Amino acid sequence: MTERYAKQDEYENVPAVYLKYGKYSAILLPTIGGNLISFRNDEKGNRYLREPEGAEWASFVAKPLLHGIPVLFPPNRYDGGTFTFDGRVYHLPVNEERTNNHIHGFVYDAEWTLEELAEDENESRATVSFVFDEQHPDYGSFPHRVVLRQTFVLSSDGLEQRFEAVNESGQALPFMLGFHTTLNVPFAQGSDVRDIRCGLPIGDRWELNARQLPTGKRLPLRDGEQALAAGQGDPFFAGLDDHYAAAGVDGGRNAVTVEDANAGVRFVYETGDAFKHWMVYNAEANGSFFCPEPQTGMVNAPNVGLPDDVTGLIRLEPGAKWTATCRMYDRSL
């Protein structure tokens, strides 16, 4: 019988959900951003997400953005925190003083509610939700009641993240979503960065100004980026904090791959065609983790001055639901 469970316990003294199905396991922290902080292949000892443990725990609690899969709603930066949609002016709090921008949204550190915890012969799963409404201190900046829900499913196929957003307000809203997914690279014990080859589904790079906002101009990929786009790149070839149009949408897989020649394993992170842009961050080529961040829309999308079908800005009507599914799994080389 396949080993499996879906249970509540604690992780570093905070409530946690532990999922197990066959060779895979995962840990979810509902009260810290609904963040899935661990996805492992227990048989091989591989840890695919950067986990906040030991000395990193305190910094994670203070700013839970560089571990696991933080939810960005809305994602990345907005010029002065201000934009206009449907004739309404939004004023998001400026929380990045050095750029005078709003960054990363309202929910990555919020307390989410555990709705379901279950397992059967096919899977182990957990559902968490968050209601952004009048009770949130930033509701005045974004006056829409929105229900966000994530279901994480472990099975023999790996990890599936099902996400939905429902507009329960009386007006259409500018919907923008991303994940600050932080991958542990290398992910296998005994490997180092020389064993790694990475693939990113990136097309043109968006030019960013000194405040890290897109100018609207497309730039050709550099040599290191071309290698990443070809599936055989080094994610630490240079310090990266860059923005790209996705190349894998409209029928493509839109998938990140990380191959470890020493471990003989390929890790795959599929996001589907709902995410039309990527941010890629590697903390000045740190050599231990990097963040391929899928986004539905461009950074500063409402202010860029390009058509919505280019920026990816989504108009979510009252009562409408938006859904997407991402997957993580591994395969032998």
Q: Which of 51, 65, 70 is nearest to 11 (CA)?
A: 51
pLDDT of the residue at 250: 58
pTM here? 0.97
Q: Which structure tokens are listed for 322?
A: 């938006």
Q: In this structure, is the dihedral angle defined by the CA atoms of residues 133, 29, 269 and 160, taken in order, positive or negative? A: negative
**Among this protein's residues, is 180 annotated catalytic?**
yes
**Among this protein's residues, is 225 annotated catalytic?**
no
Q: Which of 14, 49, 326, 25 is nearest to 201 (CA)?
A: 326
Cβ contact 149:137 at 8 Å: no
> Residue 3 class from Cβ within 10 Å (0-12 exposed, 13-18 middle, 19+ buried)?
exposed
Per-residue pLDDT of the chain (333 residues; tens, 9 = 90+): 899 999 999 999 999 999 999 999 999 999 999 999 999 999 999 999 999 999 999 999 999 999 999 999 999 999 999 999 999 999 999 999 999 999 999 999 999 999 999 999 999 999 999 999 999 999 999 999 999 999 999 999 999 999 999 999 999 999 999 999 999 999 999 999 999 999 999 999 999 999 999 999 999 999 999 999 999 999 999 999 999 999 976 556 899 999 999 999 999 999 989 999 999 999 999 999 999 999 999 999 999 999 999 999 999 999 999 999 999 999 999
* 204 to 148, 211, 294, 313: CA distances (angstroms): 31, 20, 15, 18
The three-class DSSP label of residue 308 is: helix
Helices (H), 54-105: 57-62
The three-class DSSP label of residue 295 is: strand
Q: In this structure, is the dihedral angle defined by the CA atoms of residues 292, 295, 297 and 303, taken in order, positive or negative? A: negative
Catalytic residue among 160, 225, 259, 293: 293
Q: How many domains does the chain have?
A: 1
Q: Phi first, then psi: what are they for 101, rounded to 5°?
A: -125, 160
Residue type, position 210, single letter: A
Catalytic residue among 102, 144, 180, 243: 180
Q: Name the residue range of residue 208's domain.
A: 4-332
Instruction: Read off the CATH number of the domain in which 104 is found.
Output: 2.70.98.10
Contacts of 54 (CB under 8 A, 6+ apart): none
DSSP 282-323: -TTT-SSEEEEEEESS-TTGGGS-S-HHHH--EEE-TT-EEE
